[in-house]
Structure formats: C-alpha cells, structure tokens
Amino acid sequence: MPLTIARLEFRSRSDDDQGATTFHFQPTKPFGFSAGQHGLWYVPNGGIRPFTIASAPEDATIALGTTLASGSRIKRALAALTRGSTVRLAGPLSNFTLDPLATEVVMLAQGTAATPFRSILRHLALLSSRPQTTLIHVGTAHPFRGDTEPLATHAYCPGSREEFGDRVKASAVAQPEASFMIAGTVAFVKSTKALLQANGVQPTQVKAGPFIGWSGPRSAGSADVRNLTAANPTAH
C-alpha cells in the first residue's frame, strides 16, 4: 500500500488490568493498511515515534496500543489527549504481515510487542476461513491479554524465559510446517530465531518484527527474555 500521511482525531482510550492503554482514533479520510503493520505517529507536544497499528483494517477506528509507565515525552502527550485532539500517522510501514498461504501460525510476543498480534488476531476473527493460531506471550505482565487470548486457537502466557523456551520448543516440534512470527526487542528476536532454528524451524518459516529502539519491559526478572539462548543451551 502507498505511504500516506493521515490526520486522526482522538476518540477514546481504554486501559487493561495488565498496564496497557489503547488509544482509539477516527481517521478523517480512509487509511489503508494490512494487519501487523506500523506507522510513524506524530503527537503534538510529544514528537514522532513508531507504533504498531493495533487495530484490524476492518475496525471502525485506528488504535495505538502502548504502556504509559515510562512517562516519556510522547507517553505524556498521549495521556493528555482529549476528545477531538488530532495526531498524524505516516504509513503503513513494514512487511510484518500474515502469510496468506499459512494454515498454522505461531505468534511469539514479548510484553507490549503483542500489538501486531492484536491487529492480526482481530483481522482473522472476521474471516470465514482462517489458520490455526498459537500465541505465546512472555512477560511478568501480559499487556492486551484480554484482547488477544480469546481470539487465538491456543494461547499461553509464560512468565519466565525458561517457560517461554519450553513453549517455543514444544510448538516447533508439534507444528513443524507452521509460520512463526516474532515481535519484541532486537535481542529477543535474535535469541528466539536461534531457538527456533535449533529446533528444526527453517529461516524461511520465520518473520521478525523487531521493535527498534525499545529496550524491553522495565520490570525485573525474565520478562524481556534477552538471554533466552543462555537459558536454553539447545538454541546454539
């Protein structure tokens, strides 16, 4: 789809019990995109930053999903939006989209990087024929869980890198022909790719959506899964 700069009017926000906030916007003109893509968002007094388009293309509004805990400039600007406030969205960007021929899709998400899968799962829910989906979402909290878990064929929410690694290996063995999609920090994507390949998944089966510039969840522990290969020696 061609790159477009869209004007969006803020309509509402919703907060979940896992610390995530979803902002809903009404485009002033039609804005086309594919589920899983992102764009560059300009928020007045907040600057420009890439965010996933967390809604499905079929939804009436365009959604931006994030957490506000960091208190960054753009997060403060988002939190200050009032109904009718306008933002700009340049996009769509990336090819982190569903393989139309896939009959099985395994979605591997880290923390707030579940947003592309929120978009994809909402899109698939509207189709009469859709692939079997497995969502493995790792973190000490699971943002957007209420939006994603009910829509996946199978959903798991491990809280540690060890449990995540076990789930990934089990899926690689049980679904050797599946399409695997990974969304998270650059380090998370790299280590998860290595784990998949160590368990027989071919590089051509893997799509990666690294969140460039994101350092991962702030909470302590294993939510960011940065060193997944160290915890799972078979990944080498």
So what's the pLDDT on residue 214? 64
Residue 69 lies in a domain: yes
Same domain, 115 and 230: yes
Same domain, 145 and 213: yes
Of 28, 62, 93, the one marking the end of a domain is 93
Q: Are 122 and 129 in contact (CB under 8 A)?
A: no
Q: How far apart are CA 178 and CA 66, in angstroms?
A: 28
Residue ranges in 27-160 assigned as alpha helix (H): 73-79, 115-124, 145-148
Q: Are 20 and 147 in contact (CB under 8 A)?
A: no
So what's the pLDDT on residue 213? 62
Q: How far apart are CA 128 and CA 77, in angstroms?
A: 39
Same domain, 120 and 197: yes
CATH value at residue 56: 2.40.30.10
Of 93, 120, 155, the one marking the end of a domain is 93
Residue 99 lies in a domain: no
- Structural domain boundaries enclosing 34: 4-93
pLDDT tens, per residue, the chain with 236 residues:
789 999 999 999 999 999 999 999 999 999 999 999 999 999 999 999 999 999 999 999 999 999 998 899 999 999 999 999 999 999 999 999 999 999 999 999 999 999 999 999 999 999 988 999 999 999 999 999 999 999 999 999 999 999 999 999 999 999 999 999 999 999 999 999 999 999 999 999 999 988 876 666 654 333 344 444 333 322 22
What total number of domains does the chain contain? 2
Same domain, 19 and 130: no
Question: Phi and psi dihedrals of 186, rounded to 5?
Answer: -60, -45
Instruction: Spell out a b/e string for 1-21, using b for 16 or more CB atoms within 10 Å of the CB, else e.
Output: eeebebebebbebeebebbbb
Of 93, 113, 138, the one marking the end of a domain is 93
Same domain, 48 and 80: yes
So what's the pLDDT on residue 223? 38
